[in-house]
Structure 1
Amino acid sequence: MNFFAFLAHVAGFIAPALVVGFVLWLAPQWSSKGRLARWSRVIDLTVLMAAGVAVLLAGLVFFGRDGKMATYAALVLVQGTLGWWMRRR
């Protein structure tokens, strides 16, 4: 496996965490109530994406392979809960 193939595998592995984190970060920006985040926008996005990548890595270690539906369910649960916690008052 060459370097570019490795980068493609890594990008495909972390893409779900990045997309879900971005959607959870972007949705409150469009709401009528405005932004209710705890930290700055960049930190919010970074925390959401880092938590998602950590869940995917934990699923890879626990199950021994990538792509299990339980890992993706945990990804949505963790990022959704974290996004809710960051936006509550």
Structure 2
Amino acid sequence: MNLVDALGHLVNLFAPAWGVAALMALAIKLVWRREHHALAWRRLLLWGGLGGSLAVLVALAWLARDGTMLGYGLTLLGVVLPQWWLTLKR
């Protein structure tokens, strides 16, 4: 495996977490625009993506493989919890 292949695998490992974080940040800004107008979209994306990435690593270490439903559930939880905390903190 060369460097390009390794980078492609790494990007594809974390892509679902960052994609869901972007969709959740967009949904928060569209659905609750009055309540969370001061909360930046980038901040929601950053914390959701970092939480999801950490959850992917925990699921990979715990389950010893990628692509399980439990792993995706943990990833979703890792994305949603930081964004939920940011919306409560206002």
Same fold (TM over 0.5): yes
Q: Which has the higher contact order (CA 8 A, sep 6+)?
A: 1
Query: Superposition RMSD on alpha carbons, in Å?
Result: 2.0
Structure 2: distance between partners of 1:59 and 1:77? 11
Structure 1 residues 54 and 32: alpha-carbon distance in aligned structure 2, compared to 1, 3 A threshold: closer
Structure 2: distance between partners of 1:24 and 1:44? 8
Task: Normalising by structure 1, report the TM-score.
Answer: 0.84
Preserved contact between residue 17 and residue 49 of structure 1 (Cα < 8 Å): yes
Q: Counterpart in 2 of 1:6?
A: 6
| 1:50 partner amino acid | L
| 2:13 partner amino acid | F
Within 5 A, what are the aligned runs for 1:1-89? 1-31=1-31, 33-34=33-34, 36=36, 40-88=40-88, 89=90
Q: Which runs of 5+ in 2 are unaligned?
A: none
| 2:11 partner amino acid | A
Preserved contact between residue 18 and residue 52 of structure 2 (Cα < 8 Å): yes
SS at the partner of 2:34? coil
Task: Describe the superposition over 1:21-68 as per-residue Cα deviations: whole angstroms up to 9, x where unpaired.
Answer: 001111122226435177543222111100000000001111111111
Q: Which runs of 5+ in 1 are unaligned?
A: none
Number of residue equivalences: 89
Preserved contact between residue 47 and residue 83 of structure 2 (Cα < 8 Å): no
Task: Normalising by structure 2, report the TM-score.
Answer: 0.83
